[in-house]
Structure 1
Amino acid sequence: MLLAFIPTLMAVNRASLQGPELVYRERLIGMISLVQIIRCFSFLLFSMLAACSVNTPAPESVNTVPVSKSWLVHCESSLKPLHEEGKSSKTAYSKGWIAARTPAGHKIMLKGYLEAGFVQVTDVASKDQNWFLDAEQPYAHLRKICRQTMEKRKQGGQFRPGLVRTSRSKTGVYTSFVFDDWSERQPVTRLVVFGDSLSDTGKLRRRLQMAPRQPYWLGRFANGPVWVDYLEVSSGAAVQNHALGGAMAAHRTRMSNEQLSQRIMTSGQFLVTGSITHQIDDYAKNYLKEKQGQPQDMTIGILWAGANDYISKEAFSNSISALLSKPTSEEGYNIVIDRVIDALKEHLLRLRDLGLRRLLVINLPDLGKTPMVLNNLSFKTGADDIDEQERLLLFSTRLSELTRSHNAALDDMVLGIRQSSPDLEIIVADADTILEGALSPDFTKPAMGFDLISNQVTLSGAGVERSYQNRCYAGMSLGVLPSSASICSNAPRAVFWDLVHPTTYFHCWMAYALGNLLHDQGWMAAMPEADEYRAWCELVADAY
């Protein structure tokens, strides 16, 4: 969800510290981290300135493609370390990209042409004359091939597959591919995603080469695949993902109450991650040839952003307190929400103007129910006699109010776009309801299967009592600094991975909800039955 959340993502032994000593130590850790992050930003700037299917025959001439003029199929891979008794569990770590190989050990080549950043496949080639790609389920078949390729490597049973992409030799650029010309297809064959760390599938990691690191999985801000990964696999649609961890919906705006440390931190973040505007600019410039948009009837544009514009202020007492305690002021959330919603509207209209006619925008889950609440030190109420738990409950309440206001304004904005652009299909996905379903077993049927007991924390004060789910990973921010902090024992069924990001198991259900919504809209095929899908989510979460 963000990169600028560094100071509050620090692990602290809260049981041994209290009052001013605890505040001092957390601020000290935050400042040490700040210095290291600034050094990393400086280095980055200098670096940038220095230069299960049954095989059926594929289309005719499948084995006549010149290998030298084709794209090679690659599999993103990670290796899950063996668990050592008595030691903290760890997540899988990257092993890079591995060339997919047929059962006989031959590489697989794709022949085609670039279309709006996707390789439109016309033929498939391999020196293995006895191998053919399943023309009815090409995505599923290639993922199967990736799994089989990894299983044949040393420690094969510990390998975990990520993305399946194609690449020109030695370019280091891995591209999504589509099979529109092969067989009868779904109404939509490609998804183009814009957003922040909730959707990032490794772009920030590839850019920074430093975060997020283990125990975060392959550059995802989670302990395994994120919703984009799950939806790509379950839907069979190709994904072009521009989402970048830390990105904001609106342009960076300096506030009058900013301290120097905040200005350096937030400006540094924006320099690296930018806003959604930068993602769409890149998409328009580098992916759309001769100002031609995506094939309109085959593509969905997905936008999920806005959280960073609010919670990036949490690390600084003056900013978060002004945002939440004075909602109608220039720096209060009513004004900030207007700015964020205006920016989101601008992004959606820009995507429309670039040729997209099917758009999905996702609202915010309740920020007041995240583990950020339980670990907050920065929010000030102005009252000297307020109890600590009462302070946190008030912080939670204000964040929930902000979330509801944002989501209501988003609905109104989308309704206005529908009315002014009747040729545009645009829908809103309710992430808040999805989170509510995860946190309330009786709220949704069938039950999603989260463990809500192990990480539960209850706050009470002023006659109010509320339960929250704490974070699973209690280590240093984004794995940047060494840490001996442990991962919770129920990680495969926990709701939240860190202070603001959900676990891979939640992401799996997020993808299910989005897939059902897209099916109801008539854009994609039906998702599996809930029980079957839950078994798949459990299988993946246990493996990663």
Structure 2
Amino acid sequence: MSRRIIMILLSLRIIKLLALFSILFSFYAFAGTFYVACYYYDSDKGPYNKNSSLMTPSKLYIGANTNYFWALNDANQYTKLNGTVIDGFFIEEYLTRSEVEKHCQNAIKNGTFFWKSKVTLKLLDYKAATSNFDGFEYPIRFLKDNNNYAKIKQIILFGDSLSDTGNLKRWTKYMPGYPGFFGRFTDFYNWIDFLAGMQPNKGPHYPVLNFAYGGAKSDGSNDFYFNNLKNYMTSLGRNFVTGSSKDYINHFLNSYLTQDSYASKSPYISNSDEILFVIWIGANDYISKLESPIFTQEFFDNPNKIGGSTTVYKRSVENISEQINILYNRGARHFLIFNLPDFGRTPVVLDTRYKIKDIENPTDERNKIAFSQKITKVIDNHNKTLQLKIKEIETIKKDIDITYVDIFKGFNSFIEGKNIIDGSNFNYETQPLDSKYLIPGTTNKYIQEVCYTGGYIGAAKALVKSDFSANTYALRSSCHRQSESESDGLDKISATTVFWNNPHPSSYAHCWISFMARKALEDKGLIPKELTTLEDYKNYCFSILKLKYN
């Protein structure tokens, strides 16, 4: 072995030892003290954008993400927090949000000896944590910013992939991968990102304790018929990996309630009048029944049997009702409850195999239209039953406050180009990806195709090779802007379609879902009024989307 090779190997060993020493030092230095983990993303639109590798699982640390630096104050020292963890939130007593964000920007600008920065890195989020090895991190509420709020100051969320901001990826370490945006099932921010911190004006930032997991159902039961073991085991595996909103509500109540950073546990929720509890769940109760032609047929043909449509929607609504009551009994008072969107107008119609039973050799178009109409009716029944159940709860519990968001109606208005508020015509400037199937009951509105068609496995294979390979695959597998004259990289990918993949909305659509939630909360005085005109809000959505590659 040559002397040069020996020196290289020795240098590599020294670097590894230094890295290990640095990690151990950070562990001992941080233990028991809370600092700020500043998460970032790469806004470079070129083929060497590093987001794909930034999303790869950590080999040393707990969790899926390695894309963070520890916040540095003006003296380039680690930013120490001062406060207490209460019910899963770090309550910061001295620093303000703007000060912490400034410290995060400083950390991202400087990088570290082993993890270099680059000018295109941008702040994504920040959490309170004690060390690289601590698997727990906490959203931060800044007491000095209290004057910016109305009644609600914190948000706790239970849901599925429509609201997941990285939980499933943190758990599985891989799913969903690039080009999904840092554990989100969409191309950039999702609705809770917009609601929590990307306000139209300089409004408050809402710390969110997020228990939404992609694939989660309203409960963990399996009601498949046993004549198909493969589908039963698929459902069983889904429940094991993703769980249910009931699981996560119980986990929150049994593991997170404290007033002293877990020196002791609390039986009830603290400061509940300042916390908004969000439940948006139920979509996977239905989607799990549509993954096999056999069960799709049974779902519609035998509605009152196990696995039938009527049985499913009644059980799903009862689960949501039960979960509201569980939280209420431990102190929760303010709720934001979403109904389900109209599946009959989504790409679910395009991917589900269903055949009309009473017609010999029906055309593909007739099968699609029939499925669209049937699933729309089922979801409508779910939503009507849910609304009645909420009114029943409000009648019994006089001090409960439930804000109901009609996503079914609002998202249909968005798809049809109707004003979400008054039903008049409005141009959202979405890029159409029309399938060949008309939306039933319309003459010129088509069920939309998805923008990203690459799937998760293909993306994972591309990611193994390099950032360049992953970015090239993403660009090749995504729809492009109608006009690419000003685009010369990843920004060629359209940002204004309705759906990113099946059945997930694009980030632009998520911005409008956030509008629906925000307006409902503003109308009740729970958050400050900031919304102006729909045109202004549309421009706000466009301005946020431009941040991705800017």
Letter in 2 for 1:459: Y
Please, which of 455, 467, 470 is the counterpart of residue 476 of structure 1?
Answer: 455
Matched residue, 2:334: 358
Letter in 1 for 2:291: A
Matched residue, 1:139: 97
Q: How does 1:89-238 map to 2 (within 5 A)?
A: 93-94=54-55, 95-102=66-73, 105-124=76-95, 138-143=96-101, 145-147=103-105, 149-151=107-109, 156-170=118-132, 171-180=134-143, 183-184=146-147, 185-233=149-197, 234=199, 235-238=204-207
Residues 336 and 119 of structure 1, relative CA distance in 2, 3 Å threshold: same
State the percentage of identical aligned residues: 23
The CA distance in 2 between the partners of 1:112 and 1:479, in whole Å, is 45
Unpaired runs of at least 5, structure 2 = 1-28, 56-65, 259-265, 463-472, 482-493
Matched residue, 1:50: none
1:489 aligns with 2:480: yes
The CA distance in 2 between the partners of 1:458 and 1:88, in whole Å, is 35
Farther off after superposition, 227-236 or 404-413: 227-236
The CA distance in 1 between the partners of 2:372 and 2:365, in whole Å, is 10
Partner SS for 2:502: coil
Please, which of 58, 73, 76 is the counterpart of residue 39 of structure 2?
Answer: 76
Please, which of 303, 320, 324 is the counterpart of residue 327 of structure 1?
Answer: 303
Residues 115 and 375 of structure 1, relative CA distance in 2, 3 Å threshold: same
Partner SS for 2:270: coil
The CA distance in 2 between the partners of 1:72 and 1:537, in whole Å, is 32
The CA distance in 1 between the partners of 2:227 and 2:143, in whole Å, is 51
Letter in 2 for 1:267: L
Matched residue, 1:527: 530
Partner SS for 1:98: strand
Q: How does 1:273-352 map to 2 (within 5 A)?
A: 273-289=242-258, 290-352=266-328
The CA distance in 2 between the partners of 1:519 and 1:460, in whole Å, is 35
The CA distance in 1 between the partners of 2:286 and 2:326, in whole Å, is 23
The CA distance in 2 between the partners of 1:88 and 1:401, in whole Å, is 44
Partner SS for 1:492: coil
Q: State the Cα RMSD in Å.
A: 2.8
Does the 8 Å contact 1:389/1:460 carry over to 2? Answer: no
Q: Which runs of 4+ in 1 moved over 6 A?
A: 87-92, 461-464
Matched residue, 2:519: 516
Does the 8 Å contact 2:163/2:190 carry over to 1? Answer: yes
Unpaired runs of at least 5, structure 1 = 1-65, 125-137
The CA distance in 2 between the partners of 1:77 and 1:246, in whole Å, is 26
Once the 2 structures are TM-superposed, how far is the Cα of residue 411 of structure 1 from its aligned partner? 0.2
Residues 405 and 468 of structure 1, relative CA distance in 2, 3 Å threshold: same
Please, which of 362, 366, 378 is the counterpart of residue 402 of structure 1?
Answer: 378
Matched residue, 1:38: none
Please, which of 181, 198, 220 is the counterpart of residue 251 of structure 1?
Answer: 220
Does the 8 Å contact 1:250/1:344 carry over to 2? Answer: no
Residues 182 and 330 of structure 1, relative CA distance in 2, 3 Å threshold: closer
Residues 223 and 162 of structure 1, relative CA distance in 2, 3 Å threshold: same
**Alpha-carbon deviations, 1:120-168, whole Å to 9, x = none?**
11224xxxxxxxxxxxxx3355345534543555664432432221111
Please, which of 538, 545, 548 is the counterpart of residue 541 of structure 1?
Answer: 545
Does the 8 Å contact 1:216/1:223 carry over to 2? Answer: yes
Once the 2 structures are TM-superposed, how far is the Cα of residue 507 of structure 1 from its aligned partner? 1.2
Residues 472 and 460 of structure 1, relative CA distance in 2, 3 Å threshold: closer
1:242 aligns with 2:218: no
The CA distance in 2 between the partners of 1:237 and 1:462, in whole Å, is 40
Partner SS for 1:212: coil
Q: How does 1:437-448 map to 2 (within 5 A)?
A: 437-444=413-420, 447=426
The CA distance in 1 between the partners of 2:210 and 2:184, in whole Å, is 12
The CA distance in 2 between the partners of 1:112 and 1:478, in whole Å, is 43
Does the 8 Å contact 1:191/1:302 carry over to 2? Answer: yes
Q: How does 1:375-394 map to 2 (within 5 A)?
A: 375-378=351-354, 381=357, 383-394=359-370
